[in-house]
Amino acid sequence: MTSPHIITRTKALDENIRLLNSIPTDLSKEILKRVQLMEEFQDDYDDLAKQYGLEKNKISSVTETLYYLHKQLSKVILNPSDMKTFLMEYLRIETVLAHLLVDAWTEHLRSNFDLKNKRKLSNISWELNAQASSTFIKKESSLNSSIQLKFVDKSHEDIIMKLDEEEILHLYNMLENIQTKLDTI
């Protein structure tokens, strides 16, 4: 499970999460949508309380809890499935609400990171050089490589990475880890 240092559980938070789990999902969606937009809607508490048959202070507590969760989660970058697991297992938030929070969190990340301006690769070329030791020639065995990234947009310079044996192994292990995480999604 994800580290519990994302959000510290308190008795008050646990009580508010129990309240949050007990209200209708469409009310949670409505409040979360307003929280995301940073809308002030305290004047609407009475209307929401009447509409859903809840006390005004419960609407206020739910709003404050969703605002707190949204604010704390917006400071963290995790795999969405890890975030959902954290919300469900550590904070004990119900599945549907955890899914809503992860969706809001993902949307928040997308709005804060410019994903539209990323560079598009046109080609990746690589070369691996292996030098083996021999009894005839006194040379140490070595391994090195070059990886060149060419971009579609010519305003970006091509990137050439020269890697030694240790760096190649590190890159390989990182790519394996990424592949493993992608396989679990």
Instruction: List the one residue out of 94, 80, 95, 66 whose CA is nearest residue 7.
Output: 66
Rounded to whole angstroms, the Cα distance separating 71 from 68 reads 5
Tokens 């990234």 locate to 149
Coil, helix or strand at residue 38:
coil
Which pLDDT score is estimated for 123? 84
The mean per-residue pLDDT over the stretch 93-99 comes to: 94
In this structure, the number of other CB atoms found within 10 A of the CB of residue 68 comes to 14
Percentage helix, strand, coil, to 5, in the chain? 55, 15, 30
- Length of the chain in residues, anyone? 185
In this prediction, what percent of the chain has a pLDDT beyond 90?
A: 24
| pLDDT value, residue 17 | 95
Strand, helix or coil at 10?
coil
pTM of the model: 0.59
Q: 69-72 long-range contacts, Cβ below 8 Å, gap at least 24?
A: 69/7, 69/101, 70/32, 70/35, 70/36, 70/101, 70/104, 70/105, 70/108, 72/6, 72/7
- What percent of the chain shows pLDDT beyond 70? 88
pLDDT of residue 115: 55
Give residue-wise pLDDT tens across range 110-144. 776 655 656 677 888 888 887 777 667 677 777 88
Phi, psi of 8 (to 5 degrees): -85, 125
Specify the DSSP element, H or E, that contains 169.
Answer: helix 165-184
Domain boundaries, the chain: 11-112, 121-184
100/106 Cα distance (integer angstroms) = 10
> How many other CB atoms sit within 10 Å of the CB of residue 13?
16
- Name the DSSP class of 91: S
